[in-house]
Each structure stands twice: as structure tokens, then as C-alpha cells.
Structure 1
Amino acid sequence: MTARFKRRFRTVAIYTHSKPQKVKEETIFLKKLLIFLREKGVKVIHGDLNTQSLLGEGFPLMKDTDAYDLKIGIGGDGILLKMIRTLQKEDGLLLGINFGTLGFLSELTPETAFEGLEKIFRGKYEVDVRMLLKAFVWRKKDKTKSSVKVHRGYALNEVAFGHGGVSRLTNYKVTSDRRKLSTYRSDGLIFATPTGSTAYSLSAGGPIIAPMIDSILLTPVAPHRLSHRPILLRPDKPLHVKFDTRFDSISMTLDGQIHFSVLPTDKVSIHQATRRAKFIRLKENHFFRTLRNKMSWGEN
């Protein structure tokens, strides 16, 4: 989903990844970025711990619960996924500047950053709105039938289940809108957004979904049955997962960054989140062009 509107950026938060080989380059870039933002009249500029460590202890530290007009991620896709973990309902727009390798979600590079920022501060951009997933883990309280929520998390790419580095078959019982979907006997199970269809799910044999199509992609990892193929589901119906396994726990991972140990007796519910990620895109960029340029999609 793409929207067009102009926004004045009064508050900015900066996230930076931590790669020792990039410290000098990123520090120089950050200092130039601060000068640019102040010249543009930004009143509040805060940073995460990595940004503060590069700029010195005197640089203001951001609060995860605060909302900002603009959040800038300096790094690869991982730093943008980190930004999703602290996304607030009142947050404005997200912008990625790629200092990493692939940078599939990033819009700018160090070489194009300030030219692009000039356009952005003049309002010459589009907003790429991406859906998120919200996952809840429910656990039975004592020996009663009632359950309590023990974990909640958001994902831009996917919610994945497995056993870490160990390949173990597990029965994943999936229901949709209280109706049985299937029982997947597999090494793992991936619930992906359209954004996440080009990530882990793609490696497991899932299709690419255009980001403007709200949906939930269910992709089994190494399924034991040939009939268990990826399936695209409507996003407005909650999905529920139960487990049948001989092992003590199952690993639930959100965007490859947040890990939570799910007990075999737990129940996990996965929903389309009400909040969304709003990425800045320059008007000349396009999703399919990004696929071709960064993933060699459709090339001979």
C-alpha cells in the first residue's frame, strides 16, 4: 500500500548497527547527518545505544516508548527490523540508509543519502505502508484450564517456529477462525507477511508476494508430506498454533531477532497487527525494480 503526503519532521530518532569495520565510516556519516538535520530545523534528535556510543555520552539517548516524526536506520535490513521492535502507534515514517550488504528494505546508500534527504525534506517522496504480524503466547495457569498471556511481539517479516540448530520433526496443529487448517509435520513453520515473503520463507520455498497485498503466508520448513505446500491466507482471520512434540520446548523467533521458548502445552495466536510500518520511498523507486536490482529476480 502506497500513500502520498507531506510531513514536517520535528523529532528524529537514529538507529545504528554495530559492526567494528564500519565504525569510522559511520561516525563520519553521523556527524554530517546531525549537521544536516539541525540545518533543516529538526528540534529533537535522539539515538539508540549504538548511535550514542559513536557520538559520545553527551548525545541524547532515545526512549523506546517515545514516538518520533522520523526514524532513520543506518545499517542493513537488520537495523530496520530492530526499529520495528520499538514501533509506536504515533510514530511517523521510517527511512533506511544501507551500510550493510543487501539492504533490501533500505531506500538510500551513503553515496545517495544527502541528495535523497534533500528531496525527502522537500516532501518529494511516497510512503510505503507495510503490514505487521502480532504474536501472542498463551500458557495454562497451574492446573486450571484458564490461560494467561506470557509473551507478545511484533514482526515485519515473519513469525517462525523450529528447534534452533537441531532438525526435529514436530506436529504443528494450525487452525484459522476456529476451523482446522491442517497439522503440519515438519522441521518448522513460518508465518510471513508480504514483506517477509522475500526473506526466510523464500529460502524455504515460499512465493514472492507484492507488498501491497495484505495477506499471511504459511510456509512449512522441510515438511514430511509432499502435499504440504505454502498457502496464502486472508489476514483478518486469526491463526492459532498448538504443538505435539516429545521435546521440552519449541523456539519461536520474530524477524530472526527475538527468541522465545514455547512449551508444548502453550498456544500461540498470530494476528494482523493494527499498527503498520510506514517506509519512505523516493518516487523513482519501485518494488519490482528492487527485486531485480538486489535479488536478480526475473533475470536470465
Structure 2
Amino acid sequence: MKRVGVIYHPKIMAAGILAEQLARILPSLESTAWTCSAWDDQNMRAQCPGTDLAISVGGDGTILRVARAVSDWETPILGVNLGHLGFMTELSADDIMGRLASVLNGEGWIDHRMMLQVDLQCRDRSKHGEELPQPLSALNDVVVGRGAVSRVVYVKTSIDGVLLTLYKADGVIIATATGSTGYCLAAGGPILYPQAEDILIKPISAHLTLAYPLVLPSAAVIELEVQTDHEAMLSVDGQINMALHDGDKIIARRGPHVARLVRVNPPSFFYSTLERRLKVKD
């Protein structure tokens, strides 16, 4: 008997419908099921203990939410996409019903993806109120960027305690290999092998400063200190956002957990579909 969570994008009607269909069919496959909105982080975390598989119904953004929620348990995630081919989802809505039984019986392999741990050190905690969950996890990226004011931010960047540079830019991205095909790619960064355990640093529209991307080993500890007279922003996976102020620091490093994505296609599938995926993004 397996316990399966079916987690869906709440604003895509087809996702909710498919989640209900999967929940109905799972008992006939000798599995118990629970369903939850991907935006209900608290409920997801409460259901995770004892869950053998999380089925993410939506797109890559849904997987990002699920991966952060289940990270403490490293629950395997099977991604089902409802639109274009994503970089993390594995099966289409048309395929999932026909492949579900075999996946539950062990078909496929586990794709381990490194995650980041993000700690926020505030110069003045009174400016942040109660919005300080610690630490944060990221599967894609961490971005320190300008806020509502359309002005560059200064980001003092250190690696392993050694000053790299003071970026004058629209922002700075710290990305995993998984995140290398997201915002980092749009900002001019390289595409990394999906299972690579490297960390990328890429400034966004750097002004008269180091503009090239840097590829760092997984053991690197990166510190970003905001130096600004206006509000900046921290964004984690593009989904968790909070204001930053002068003197606030972000510490990013390899996290203690990984995202475990269930794959039924061979590893070479990433390369054989890369051009098609990038054309969809464009």
C-alpha cells in the first residue's frame, strides 16, 4: 500500500479536475490518496509524513512549490504538465493515467536535484515585522533585485568570506543547475547539466562592473549584502518575495536536502528535447 499526495495548481481548472480523477483511481491501484492545493503550504507539510509519492499537477511552477514543501522528507515528485513541455515535469495529462500503475510499481528512476538554503540576516529586524521564516529553501534560484523604485541596487558579494565585487545592477541571481534554464538563462547565464551540483551567480544588467556569470562549486557559501537608500527585494524561486533594506544580508549555500524527481524518460531526454523546450520559452 502506498500513500500518494496529489497536489494541483488551484488556478488551473483542468489541474483540479485531473487531481480529483487521480485521487479516485488510486485506491484501485492499492494506494491511498490525499489532495491539496499547491498554494496551501501548511496543509502540504502536514500531509507529507508517510507519503511515498507526490504527484504535482500543473507545470514547473507547481513543482517548485511542491519541492519546497516536501524537502524535509525528500518525497519523490512526479510532475504532470497541463500545457507546454516544462523542464521539470515528466508526463502530460494524457499520459499519466496510462503510466500511473507502472510508476507506483517502481518504473523509472530518481533524478536528484540540488537545492539551496537561504538565510536572511537583517540589519534592522523592526522593518521586517513577522515575515522572517528561516531558513528558506530554493530549487531554482534566489534573486536580490531592485524594488518598486526603478533604480539600480548595490550588492556587495562575497564568496567563502572573500569579497568578489560590489555589483551595481538591477539585481543578482544565485541559481542551481535546475534554475539555470529559468530567470538566469533569460539574464544571459549558461545552461548547466540538470544533475550538476554547481551554483551560478549572474548579475542582471550590470552597470560598469563584473557582468559575467560565475560557476561555483556546491560547497561555496555566497553572501549578498544590500547597499541601498531605497527598498530592494528578495525573491525565492520567483514565488516567495520580501522587502530588503540597507545592510540586509542573504546567505546562500547548498541545502541539506535534495528534490527527488521521478523520471520515466531516459537521462538523454533532456538533450533531445532541449531545443523544443527553449522555443516554447521564447
Q: Do they fold alike, i.e. is TM over 0.5?
A: yes
Matched, 1:195 2:183: no
- Greater fraction of residues in helix: 2
> What TM-score, normalized to structure 1?
0.82
Q: Could you say which residue in structure 2 is the equivalent of 1:36?
A: 25
Matched, 1:64 2:53: no
Cα gap change, 1:180/1:265 in structure 2, threshold over 3 Å: closer, same or farther? same
Matched, 1:129 2:118: no
Give, in whole Å, the separation in 2 of the partners of 1:251 and 1:295.
28
- Determine helix, strand or coil for the equivalent of 2:253: strand
Displacement after TM superposition at 1:41 (Å): 1.2
Q: Could you say which residue in structure 2 is the equivalent of 1:17?
A: 9
Q: How many residues align?
A: 271
The one-letter amino acid paired with 1:81 is L
**Among 102, 107, 116, the residue aligned to 1:119:** 102
- Determine helix, strand or coil for the equivalent of 1:276: strand
* Structure 2 gap ranges (5+): 127-131
Q: Which moved more, 1:194-203 or 1:27-36?
A: 27-36
- Report % sequence identity: 29
Q: Could you say which residue in structure 2 is the equivalent of 1:258?
A: 240
Q: Could you say which residue in structure 2 is the equivalent of 1:46?
A: 34
- Give the CA RMSD over aligned residues: 2.5
> What TM-score, normalized to structure 2?
0.87
Residues 235 and 241, structure 2, Cα contact 8 Å, conserved in 1: yes
**Among 147, 161, 165, the residue aligned to 1:182:** 165
Cα gap change, 1:243/1:77 in structure 2, threshold over 3 Å: closer, same or farther? same
Cα gap change, 1:142/1:73 in structure 2, threshold over 3 Å: closer, same or farther? closer
Give, in whole Å, the separation in 1 of the partners of 2:275 and 2:148.
31
Matched, 1:138 2:121: yes
Residues 77 and 102, structure 1, Cα contact 8 Å, conserved in 2: no
Runs of 4+ in structure 1 over 6 Å off: none
Counterpart mapping for 1:87-236 below 5 A = 87-140=70-123, 151-164=134-147, 166-225=149-208, 227-236=210-219
- Determine helix, strand or coil for the equivalent of 1:112: helix
Residues 47 and 62, structure 1, Cα contact 8 Å, conserved in 2: no
Displacement after TM superposition at 1:114 (Å): 1.7
- Determine helix, strand or coil for the equivalent of 2:191: coil
Displacement after TM superposition at 1:289 (Å): 2.0
Displacement after TM superposition at 1:105 (Å): 1.0
Displacement after TM superposition at 1:235 (Å): 1.6
Cα gap change, 1:97/1:242 in structure 2, threshold over 3 Å: closer, same or farther? same
Give, in whole Å, the separation in 1 of the partners of 2:184 and 2:91.
25
Q: Could you say which residue in structure 1 is the equivalent of 2:274?
A: 291
**Among 275, 281, 284, the residue aligned to 2:263:** 281
Displacement after TM superposition at 1:231 (Å): 0.7
Cα gap change, 1:36/1:211 in structure 2, threshold over 3 Å: closer, same or farther? same
- Determine helix, strand or coil for the equivalent of 1:232: strand
* Structure 1 gap ranges (5+): 1-8, 53-60, 144-148
Matched, 1:269 2:251: yes
Give, in whole Å, the separation in 1 of the partners of 2:237 and 2:104.
30
Give, in whole Å, the separation in 2 of the partners of 1:237 and 1:226.
22
Q: Which moved more, 1:176-185 or 1:31-40?
A: 31-40
Displacement after TM superposition at 1:102 (Å): 4.2
Give, in whole Å, the separation in 1 of the partners of 2:164 and 2:39.
45
* Partner deviation per Cα, 1:129-161 (whole Å, 9 max, x = no partner): 000111111124689xxxxx7642111110001
Residues 155 and 255, structure 1, Cα contact 8 Å, conserved in 2: yes
